Every structure is written in structure tokens, then in C-alpha cells.
Structure 1
Amino acid sequence: MKKKRFILWFVFLLTMSMFLVACGSKENGGEKKGGEGTKTEEKPKFISILTGGTGGTYYPLGGSFAKIIKDATGIEANAETSGASAENMTTLKNGDGEIAFTQTDIASYANDGKLMFKDNKVDNIKAIATLYPETIQLVTTKKSGIKSVEDLKGKKVSIGAPGSGTAANAEQILEVHGMTLNDIKKQDLSFDESTQGIQDGTIDAAFVTAGTPTGAVEGLSATEDVVIVPIEQDKIDALIKKYSYYVKDEVPAGTYGLKDKVTTVAVQAMLVVRSDLSQKVVYDITKAIFENLDQVTHAKGKLIKVENALNGVGIDVHPGAQKYFDEKGVKAP
């Protein structure tokens, strides 16, 4: 009887051991599969591209990029409307998007925790590339007599909406000319309000940061002899040396009826990405965009060139994007 019980007990233990080993194998297999799944999940199924308003440039460009990314990588992508540069940085910080359009200066302020990001530093963004210039235009008229930045002393000058990137541009340009906002009669007006004020004679000049030609300035040129105040080369050099997100630019002859081109500076429209996206994913996205620019229908698409992708970038480039630019021999100036 004892022998029979012993045999039964032995069979029971053997059965349980086999059962536990089988379960362990499944769990180990599950862990291995889960590990592989984690690697696979480095490629997201969907990404949001944060742009700007529907009437701006970022939104249609974002739509083109979304289609290119989907076709080339298989990742579902969608262009999302937003309040543009500064809002996009905050949205990425909160994890509510993956890629965003912004200006190079705004990205730098966000990354460094300066100006409008003083209490809201964004520490999870990297650059993909710069795209095209957003030109800083110091707009006035022939009858104002203003021919240089120094001539702004004592004048009523709009520096853009409060807290805007344009306001920061204005302050930095004044700075390299040995001036401050205290040297002008500062006005905080939108671009449309600024050009209307110039036309009405209530202000003398305005800083406008936008791609050229800018609609509000074109409207002013229909009734006034528009002057774009130049920035001299030594001041351009000083500005770029202190603030790496600036690049030299010009307003072409013929724009706003100008007889000659005007030298100035620009910040750049750029693409940034959340830094936690994998190197492979960002590499694939960067490659997809720059090797399919012929599919971008917006006029600004003609200005986007891989050889200029690191000009004035201002913040660290994502390793995935950097890998692509290394392959192409593209270096920062």
C-alpha cells in the first residue's frame, strides 16, 4: 500500500514538475517575444506633425511631409493645426506630438529655458533640419527718412506681438547696434496692425519676421514707397556669433517694388522631433523627406535643400537625422 502511495506521489510530483517547466518555457518565450515586441514598438504606428494655422505655410508643408512619411516608412502620419512655434514646443514637451514645425530661435529659447520659456524649459526636443528662411524685415517708408537701424532712436517702432519671436529678434538686432528698447518708442502690434500704423502715420517702422514676400508688407507697398532697412555685414556677423540660430539673408530686388536687394538676417523654419524617438525611426523620416522633396507642392518646398539642412539649426541634432546628413556629407557651416 505504502509502495502504491509512493508511486502515486512520485507521478504527481513528476507531472507538476513538467507542468511548471512548460509554464516557465511559455513565460520565457513570452518575455523573449515581449522583448522583440519592444524593439518593434520603437517604430510608432502613428505620428502627429504639429504645424500652424491653416492659412500659414507650416500646415500645407506638414500635409506633404505626412504623406511622404507614410508612403516611405509605413508610419501613419497626420498634420495637426496649432498655434505654431511656441505652442508646438510646449505640446512636444507634454508628449502630445512627435514632430513639430518651429522657428530656430523659438526652439533655442525652449531648449535653453529662456524668454517665453523661462519657467517652462523644454528638454525633450532635438532638431531634424532647418527648412527655409523666415526673414527679419525692418519695414518703413521713404518719407520716414529712416535708412539705418540707428535712425530708429526716438521713433515709434512696432516690435510685434508681446512675447513673440519677432519681439526677441527686434531686441537682439537693436543690441548689436548698441541700442535697447528704451531707445525707441516701442509698440506691440501684429504685422497687419504694424503696416496699417505705418500707412496711417501713427508709427514710423516695424519689425516683421516672416517669409518674403509678406502679405501685410505687400499691401503697404500698394500705397507707399516701402523701404526695408538693411543690416550691415559687421552687425550680421556679430549677431550670428552671439545667436547661432541666425543666418544671413536678403530681400530680393523687386520685392515690394524695391530697386535693389537688401541685406538682412533670418531665423529659419525648422523641424524638431521628440528626443525619445529611436535613431532608426528619425533616420527613416529624415531620409524620406529629403529624398522626396519633389512631392512637396507648396512654393516653399523649392527652398528646402539637404545641403542647407544644418544652417542655423541652433539646438542639438537628433542622432537619426545626423546619421543621414553624415551619409550625405552635410555639415553645419
Structure 2
Amino acid sequence: MKKKRLLLSMVFLLALSMILAACGSNDTSGESEGSGDKGGEKAAEETLKFMSVLTGGTGGTYYPLGGAFAKIIKDETGIDANAETTGASAENMTTLKNGEAEIAFSQTDIASYAIEGKLMFKDNKVDNVQAIATLYPETIQIVTTKKSGIKSVEDLKGKKVSVGAPGSGTVANAEQILEVHGMTFDDIKKQDLSFDESTQGIQDGTIDAAFVTAGAPTGAVESLSATEDVVIIPIEQDKIDALIKKYPYYVKDEVPANTYKLTEAVTTVAVQAMLVARSDLSEKVVYDVTKAIFENLDKVTHAKAKAIKVENALNGVGIEVHPGAQKYFDEKGIKPAQ
């Protein structure tokens, strides 16, 4: 009997040791960080379950578009996407840098400043964000009135000109446009006013002109056109070419005839609204998101959706495109406009 018990005990211990050995061979928790951990991270990326879409304020365009995009992403990819209100472009780039969201809206110029560590990002350079696609133009409108006598950018010399609120992207737009015309802020009597303050100043006669970067028609300028003969100062083609060559996030644009009661279209430039993503998102995730959005634009009811076209998605991007988005555009034969 004792021998039988001893034999059973030995068999039990042998079986137990084999089970423990098998468990140990599959346990990677004690390994140094290497290919096993990276594989786990990749798997998590490939099966992303939640995505934050950073937009802007509730009164702007980014938020309703972001809500529509989030629904499309959820319906088409299974990722539980949610649109979040934010302070828009600059804040969005910083939030992505901090890893607190996955994709976001931004102006193309603001995204470029962030990646290059310029202007408002001088001490806060962003190095983990890539482009998904450009969406629609945000037009740079140099606004004045017929009674001012201003007909060209050069005519702004010596005039009181608003260049936008301090720290805004409009300030940089104004500086760069003056630059290609051989001018600086020293050549004008610079005023730092919001759009509403700018158009009110033009109406009151306290300033002569203003730079406004926004989708046309812009409410503040429309209000001005109700009481004044609005003039949008054109930018000539050679200056547009020089601007785009030096600052590739610009694109040629126009303010259409009949906008602000204009009798004919006015040639100008625009930066663009764009979608960006954290660069550490997997190629598959960003490919699926890009495909979902561009193949379901008919489900977006916001008026700006009509301006979003896949053939324009790489125009004026200004920063590196995420490999997942690039894969989709390669499949569709989409290339940047020359």
C-alpha cells in the first residue's frame, strides 16, 4: 500500500511539474521589452476599440463635420468614435502630441507650424502627427470698402490694417502675403483685431482694411456688406505662385461672384481644413478610417461636405501623410495637384 501511495505521489508531482513548465514556457511577462511586447502593441493597434475625434467649438464647422465623421467611422469600421469639442487647430495638435486623442481637425498651416516648431509652437514642437487628408478651403480674404480706394495689396502701405487676433493663424497669413509683395508689418499700421472687431472698425472708419481667414461667405463680412460696398483685394498669380512655392500649405482659391454682392470672382489663396492622426496609429486603422470617410461622404448632411472631394485630398497638405491614408489614395490613384 505504501509503495502504491509513493508511486501515485511521484506521478502527481511529475504531472504538476510538467504543467508548471508548460505555463512558464508561454509566460512572457518576465521578458525584457522586445519583439513580444511590440507584437502586443501592434495587435492592440490593429483592433482599436475607441477613437476620439477632436474638432472645434460647437458654433463652427469642425464640430458638426466631426460628429458626422465619427458616426461613419463607427458604422463602417466598428471603432467606437466620438467627436469632442475643443479650441480647434492649435489645441488639437497639442492634444495629439500628448497622446490624448487619435485624430483631429486642423488648418494646414497650423499643422505645419506644429511639425516645424514655429510661431505658437516654438517651444512645443509636435513630432507624432501625420496627415490623413485636406478637406475644404479656408479662404484668406483681404477686406476693405470701395470708398477706401484700396485696390491692391501694395495699396495697404501706410494704412490701418487688421491682421487678426494676437496668436491666430490669420496673423501668419497676413505676414506671409505681405512678404511675397515685398512688404512687412512695418509698412502698415498694424491692428490686432478679431473678425467682428475688424469689420466693425472698417464700418466705423477706424481702420482701412482687414485680413480674414475663414470659409467664404464669412458672417462678419456679410454683415459689413449690408451697409458698405465691400471690396476683396485680389492676389495676382505670380504672387500666388511665390507664396505656394515657399509655403506649400497654401492653395489658389477665389471668393465667388455674388458673395458680399461682388460683381465678379476675386482670386486669392486659402489654407485648408484637414484631418490629421497620431503617427503611431497602425496603417490598417488609418486606412480603414480614410476609406470609410471618403466612401460615405453622401451620408454627411453639412453643407461643407459638398466641398470635400477625394481627388483634392492631397492638395496643400504641407506635412507627411500617414502610411494608412497614403495606401488608400494610392489605390484610388490620387496624387497632389502640380
The aligned amino acid for 1:140 is T
Q: 1:310 is paired with a residue of what secondary structure? A: coil
Match of 2:192 among 161, 185, 188: 188
Matched, 1:314 2:311: no
Q: Using the TM superposition, give the Cα deviation of residue 123 of structure 1 relative to its aligned residue in structure 2, in angstroms.
A: 0.5
Q: Using the TM superposition, give the Cα deviation of residue 9 of structure 1 relative to its aligned residue in structure 2, in angstroms.
A: 9.1
1:268-297 alpha-carbon deviations (Å, 9 max, x no partner): 000000011000000000000000000011
Match of 2:54 among 45, 50, 54: 50
Match of 1:151 among 155, 158, 181: 155
Q: Which aligned pairs between 1:40-79 and structure 2 lie closer than 5 A?
A: 40-42=43-45, 43-79=47-83
1:98 maps to 102
**Residues 105 and 38 (structure 1), Cα distance of their counterparts in 2 relative to 1, 3 Å cut:** closer
Match of 1:109 among 87, 108, 113: 113
1:82 maps to 86
**What RMSD, in angstroms, separates the aligned Cα atoms of the two structures?**
2.1
Residue ranges of structure 2 left out of the alignment (5+ in a row):
30-35
The aligned amino acid for 1:23 is L
Q: 2:276 is paired with a residue of what secondary structure? A: strand
TM-score, length-scaled by structure 2: 0.93
Q: Which aligned pairs between 1:191-206 and structure 2 lie closer than 5 A?
A: 191-206=195-210
Match of 2:23 among 15, 21, 26: 26
Matched, 1:224 2:228: yes
1:250 maps to 254
Q: 2:81 is paired with a residue of what secondary structure? A: strand
Q: Using the TM superposition, give the Cα deviation of residue 20 of structure 1 relative to its aligned residue in structure 2, in angstroms.
A: 3.2
Q: Using the TM superposition, give the Cα deviation of residue 8 of structure 1 relative to its aligned residue in structure 2, in angstroms.
A: 4.4
Verify the 8 A CA contact 2:42 2:282 in the aligned structure 1.
no
Count of aligned pairs between the two proteins: 329
Residue ranges of structure 1 left out of the alignment (5+ in a row):
none
Verify the 8 A CA contact 2:177 2:243 in the aligned structure 1.
yes
Which stretches of structure 1, 4 residues or longer, exceed 6 Å deviation after superposition? 32-36
1:235 maps to 239
2:33 maps to none
2:32 maps to none
Q: Using the TM superposition, give the Cα deviation of residue 306 of structure 1 relative to its aligned residue in structure 2, in angstroms.
A: 0.4
Tell me how far apart the structure 1 counterparts of residues 303 and 97 of structure 2 sit (CA, whole Å): 30
Match of 1:208 among 191, 196, 212: 212
Tell me how far apart the structure 1 counterparts of residues 265 and 38 of structure 2 sit (CA, whole Å): 59
Q: Using the TM superposition, give the Cα deviation of residue 96 of structure 1 relative to its aligned residue in structure 2, in angstroms.
A: 1.2
The aligned amino acid for 1:219 is S
Tell me how far apart the structure 2 counterparts of residues 65 and 100 of structure 1 sit (CA, whole Å): 11
Name the stretch that deviates more: 37-46 or 139-148.
37-46
**Residues 144 and 20 (structure 1), Cα distance of their counterparts in 2 relative to 1, 3 Å cut:** farther
Q: 1:131 is paired with a residue of what secondary structure? A: strand
TM-score, length-scaled by structure 1: 0.94
